[in-house]
């Protein structure tokens, strides 16, 4: 196949959702790019022009559902900015022979850093104590005692690429690590716990780093939260769908768990109002991978996947076949 940037007629690429400005500029340089968000009636636009597009640039947030994929009959490649594929209809894409590129590995460190930042923040009350100082409350007395992190027990739900980096971070804090996956990973030195409730009951901190999607929806249930207990903390840097959010709010209201550190939510960017009322909850705006370095690397991979496909017929880093 020809090099996109040198072709007289650049491949027609649809962009679903905004991306980094620098990445959008690069895509426009190499492709005949059209932003779907510009259309007042996207469905009508796709009915008229959907057959023109051979490529789709999207993100883990916006994905590509069955309706969008079906509206693009000439589609051959999807390049997604992100590691999550739960918003992409992978089965529909692969059944049509559409390749899916994504951006694993490059965000592992920053997501793991954020997870550990949440562990420390919620246990030691860093954000809460900052509010305490700013409100002038230190003048009336000391901030309450908090919970030590070093030497505690860290349970990880989802010991994939990011989960393993979280586990390595824990070694610097002399923490005991166990994990729960669908099946044990013989290549890691950590204890495997086949039952998630048992892992929660054991852990002082339960860190959620699993994939999203139907298979993991509400995996962290009311029963798991009850097992984590009034001295246990929940951390989520995965997907909001993995946690039963209503059960989490109830657990916080009743003191069933000690606190939570959350970077993701069920209906982003809308957060349940009740979550905003807890001083023992740290709330981040889905920023785990949001560093200049990581986002640039992700953008580079989105472009590389597309360029590689139009050169050779294969994306550089693709979603494995289901």
Q: Beta 77-81 vs 55-59: how paired, if at all?
A: parallel
Choosing from 30, 239, 245, 295, the catalytic residue is: 239
* Residue 131 is a catalytic residue: no
Task: Please indicate whether residue 268 is annotated as part of the active site.
Answer: yes
Element (H or E) spanning 274, and its range?
A: none
The answer to whether residue 286 is catalytic is: yes
- Identified catalytic residue from 168, 268, 293, 311: 268
Measured at the CA of 120, the angle between CA 257 and CA 103, to 5 degrees, comes to 100
Q: Which of 16, 30, 180, 286 is catalytic?
A: 286
Closest by CA to 36, choosing from 72, 4, 6, 11, is 72
* CA–CA separation, 55 and 50 (whole Å): 11
Residues 6 or more apart from 259 whose CB is under 8 A from it?
122, 123, 233, 234, 252, 278, 280, 281, 282
Record the tokens describing residue 183, joined without a space: 């099946």
Q: Which residues are designated catalytic?
A: 239, 268, 286
């Amino acid at each position: 196949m020809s090099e996109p940037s040198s072709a007289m007629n650049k491949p027609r690429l649809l962009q679903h959702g905004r991306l980094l400005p620098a990445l959008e500029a690069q895509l426009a340089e190499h492709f005949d790019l059209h932003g779907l968000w510009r259309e007042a009636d996207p469905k009508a636009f796709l009915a008229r022009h959907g057959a023109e597009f051979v490529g789709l640039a999207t993100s883990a947030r916006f994905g590509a559902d069955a309706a969008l994929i079906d509206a693009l009959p000439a589609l051959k490649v999807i390049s997604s900015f992100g590691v999550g594929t739960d918003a992409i209809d992978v089965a529909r894409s692969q059944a049509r022979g559409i390749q899916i590129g994504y951006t694993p590995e490059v965000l592992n460190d920053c997501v793991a850093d954020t997870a550990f930042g949440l562990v420390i923040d919620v246990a030691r009350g860093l954000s809460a104590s900052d509010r305490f100082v700013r409100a002038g409350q230190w003048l009336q007395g000391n901030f309450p005692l908090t919970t030590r992190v070093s030497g505690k027990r860290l349970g990880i739900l989802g010991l994939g690429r990011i989960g393993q980096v979280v586990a390595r971070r824990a070694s610097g804090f002399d923490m005991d690590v166990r994990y729960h996956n669908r099946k044990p990973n013989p290549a890691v030195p950590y204890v495997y716990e086949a039952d998630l409730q048992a892992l929660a009951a054991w852990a002082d901190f339960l860190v959620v780093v699993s994939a999203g999607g139907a298979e993991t929806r509400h995996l962290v249930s009311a029963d798991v939260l009850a097992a984590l207990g009034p001295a246990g903390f929940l951390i989520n840097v995965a997907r909001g769908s993995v946690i039963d959010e209503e059960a989490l709010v109830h657990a916080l209201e009743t003191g069933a768990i000690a606190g939570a550190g959350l970077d993701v939510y069920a209906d982003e960017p809308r957060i349940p109002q009740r979550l905003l009322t807890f001083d023992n909850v740290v709330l981040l705006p889905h920023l785990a991978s949001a560093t200049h370095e990581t986002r640039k690397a992700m953008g580079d991979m989105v472009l590389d996947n597309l360029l590689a496909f139009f050169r050779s017929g294969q994306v550089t880093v693709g979603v494995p076949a289901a």
